[in-house]
Chains A and B, each alone.
Chain A
Amino acid sequence: MALLEVENLETRFYTEEGVVQAVNDVSYAIDSGEAFGVVGESGAGKSVTSLSLMRLIENPGRIESGEIRFKGRDLLSLSDEEMRELRGNEIAMVFQDPLTALNPVYTIGEQIAEAVRLHRDATDAEARERAIEVLDAVGIPDPEERYDQYPHEFSGGMQQRVIIAIALSCDPDLLICDEPTTALDVTIEAQILELLQDLSEEFDMAIQFITHDLGVVAEICDRMMVMYAGEVVEQGTVEEIYYEPQHPYTVGLMSSIPRVGSERDELDTIPGTMPDLVKLPTGCSFHPRCPYAEEACTRLDPQLVDVDTGRPVDGPDRTTHSAACLAHSGELDGELTYSVDIVEETETEDTDTVEDTQ
């Protein structure tokens, strides 16, 4: 049994404009020590999925149905107090913006020690010791002195390390990272990713990594899922999805990655925008933006199917590469005609200067 199994999760927000279908029938599983990527545009339901795991969906939102099994326990049936015990202790979260995720009025040491005291029966001295230990683990120099400093005395990258330290303070089994490097510059991003990877190995901690950066997923994740309009459109290992993407949306995302040295004036983008989650298109919700859309796509809601056999995948499945496109269930007349070419390393091996590549 996997560490975390999410089955047919549905989360809705009941707003005045209508019912926002933020998460629709999402199933996935994460094994202990595994890094799992969740990718999609803004508004695809990535963050709501994670907040649902923590049961931190606030009014007017509600988890309508589904099951979230963590170590075999159904989180949705736990009492509030049991859930509170679990948060931070077994599942911890790293937020996107280090600037606002730290409370400006307390020293960073106090904030870590607070997390320790919440779940461990620790004296102030023990909490302090533990805080210094995790500060050291996330690579903050002079942790003893830094303990008494305020968040504004840290740079963005260091603040993000502090946030990771807070999340690590109680040795969680699952770390949910909600775009942890979006607010950081690339060199710091690389450091933080490396840190997360090391920590995951060191503490045998699973990571659910939410991002819209496909490069980041490639770097640290084992398996991933692509979300669109609150649904999972493709799921599989990172290799499978990168080398053989089976859903037009995934391909669209990959083709819109800017490439250094590309001489094109414009980026390839996916035309249009994410639909309003209050009023999803009929059939496949991606069909208005899909270059391969046919009449059938407006009628039939594609199920997540095994891309090799075309058989539907039900519930959390860690082994199959699945995609939700009619092309795989045989209901599409045309074919997905894109191809993925892997630029061989030898192509640029002999070039030293930028000019040569253009």
Chain B
Amino acid sequence: MTQRNRTTTRGRIRISGFDSSAVEEEREFIDWDESVDSNVSADRWTRAWQRFRRNRTALLGLAVIGLMTFLAVFARPIDLFGVTVQPFAIAPYDPGASNFNALTQPPSLQHPFGTDWSGKDIFSRVLVGGRLSLTIGLIAVSLALGVGVPLGSIAGYFGGWIDEFIMRIVDVLYAFPFLVLAIAFIAIFGQGFWRMIGALVLVSWIGYARLIRGEILSVKENEYVSAAEALGARDRSIIFRHIVPNAIAPVIVQATLGIGTYVLSAAALGFLGLGLEPGSAEWGSMLSSGRESLVEGNYWITFFPGVAIFLFVLSINLVGDGVRDALDPQGDTASERLR
């Protein structure tokens, strides 16, 4: 290649006497090592957890959820295929067992939360009911993510008629009030644990699809996406390796908050008598079956399941806010200053 020195003297300023070759020589008065100190690079989940840990209210929420999960798991023994996996029983009574000697008892030492009209121990029912409510929340949110995230990603990345098709379905589903749609689903397919989850997933995946599509539309403009294309990466790997990990943060926040919404919706469906089979120990169904006795002044039948729902949803929301702050690197310094 030919050497063109002309450009270096193109300007009219000329510096002379600056001899940079001295730097190349070994000079013992300079005691400085150029090599970098490598500190271990934390990936972004580690950094997010470190930020989350500093958020006290979120930690409190997490602790409450942890406690409730613990109580739900250890409330009654769990048998799997005839083998007892979890032998402990915190709940003093069988949640389904009626006790005709103690009908509609107010809270006492025997029955800390009282009993209902058929003498079932409410404390035990609230503990065991946590199992249903929590699993409904978790399973429904995972399934809704499993449907919404891939569909929304594909719509956002490919655009065109694929996008039109998926997003019009989303629009149609959005046009129904969400509880009405869930009720219609249950009315058609009948009641039951999985059917209720099906109804909840049907009405909620659209939110995640729309959210991730919007994120992907902005993330895919980044040059690293074109760079991956220019390297010959396949569409699948571009979407799921390069785009989705960068677009997923708001979806995670939404999903965390979503668990609370599912528990509330399950309770609402249960209250309307459309949730699980009548009489099952689920917080919403318990509220529903206790509503006549509220008029008679027997507050405890509805109060304790209500408190359980309230505590759980509040904690989930606190955790959700914490997750949002933790996943948003820009928000870091701002919230730090406030505290």
Contacts and interface: CB of A to CB of B under 8 A. Distances in A.
Interface of A: 35, 54, 56, 59, 84-89, 92-93, 95-97, 100-105, 107, 114-115, 118-119, 141-142, 145-146, 148-150, 153, 163, 166, 197, 201, 215, 218-220, 222, 238-239, 242, 257, 259-262, 342-343, 345, 347-349, 351-352, 354, 357
Contact of B13 (A145, A222, A260): A260
Size band of the B side of the interface?
35 or more
Contacts of B2: 222, 239
A95 B13 contact: no
A86 B232 contact: yes
B41 to A, nearest CB: 5
Contacts of B12: 259-262, 343, 347-348, 357
Interface centre among A119, A166, A220 (most CB of B within 10 A): A166
Interface of B: 1-2, 4, 6-7, 9-14, 16-17, 34-36, 38, 41, 43-44, 159-160, 222-224, 226-234, 241-242, 245-246
A104 B227 CA distance: 13
A105 B244 CA distance: 10
Contacts of A219: 4, 7
Given A35-B1, A118-B231, A145-B36, A150 B41 contact: yes
A197 B246 CA distance: 34
B223 A95 contact: yes
B14 A348 contact: yes
6 contacts: A95-B230, A107-B41, A142-B38, A166-B231, A219-B7, A257-B10
B9 to A, nearest CB: 5
B35 A142 contact: yes
A119 B228 CA distance: 13
A97 B227 CA distance: 11
A239 B234 CA distance: 42
A86 B231 CA distance: 9
B41 A218 contact: no
Contacts of A84: 232, 234
B44 A148 contact: no
Nearest to B43: A150
Contacts of B241: 114
Contacts of A222: 1-2
B121 to A, nearest CB: 50
B230 A105 contact: no
A76 to B, nearest CB: 17
Contacts of B9: 343, 345, 348
B49 to A, nearest CB: 15
Count chain A CB atoms within 10 A of each CB in B14, B160, B232, B241 and give the residue with the most: B232
Contacts of A92: 230-231
A343 B7 CA distance: 11
Count chain A CB atoms within 10 A of each CB in B34, B44, B228, B233 and give the residue with the most.
B228
Given A88-B231, A145-B36, A145-B38, A103 B246 contact: yes
A88 B232 contact: yes
A261 B9 CA distance: 12
Contacts of B233: 88, 114, 118
B230 A218 contact: no
B159 to A, nearest CB: 7
Given A95-B223, A218-B6, A260-B11, A89 B246 contact: no
Given A86-B232, A352-B16, A141 B36 contact: yes
Contact of B229 (A87, A114, A342): A87
B232 A97 contact: no
A262 B11 CA distance: 8
Contact of A104 (B38, B159, B232, B246): B246
Q: Which of A84, A89, A141 has the most CB of B within 10 A?
A: A84
Contacts of A93: 227, 230
The 10 A-B pairs with the shortest beta carbon distances in the complex, nearest first, are A88-B231, A260-B11, A261-B12, A87-B232, A88-B232, A101-B223, A145-B38, A93-B230, A100-B223, A261-B13
Contacts of A197: 1
Contact of B230 (A87, A242, A351, A354): A87
Contact of B223 (A86, A96, A118, A261): A96
Contacts of A146: 36, 38
A54 B226 CA distance: 11
A215 B246 contact: no
A56 B229 contact: yes
A142 B43 contact: no
Given A218-B7, A260-B12, A105 B246 contact: yes
Contacts of A163: 227
Most B CB atoms within 10 A — which of A103, A148, A150, A238? A103
A13 to B, nearest CB: 15
A222 B226 CA distance: 28
A97 B226 CA distance: 12
B1 A201 contact: yes
Contacts of B38: 142, 145-146, 149
B227 A95 contact: yes
B11 A259 contact: yes
Contacts of A119: 232
A97 B11 CA distance: 28
A208 to B, nearest CB: 13
Contact of A149 (B41, B160, B232): B41
A40 to B, nearest CB: 19
B304 to A, nearest CB: 44
Nearest to B34: A141
A35 B231 CA distance: 21
B15 to A, nearest CB: 9
A245 to B, nearest CB: 14
Nearest to B9: A345
Given A215-B10, A219-B4, A343-B12, A95 B226 contact: yes
Nearest to A34: B1
A149 B10 CA distance: 40
A351 to B, nearest CB: 6
A218 B226 contact: no
A88 B233 CA distance: 9
Contact of A88 (B1, B14, B160, B230): B230
B17 to A, nearest CB: 8
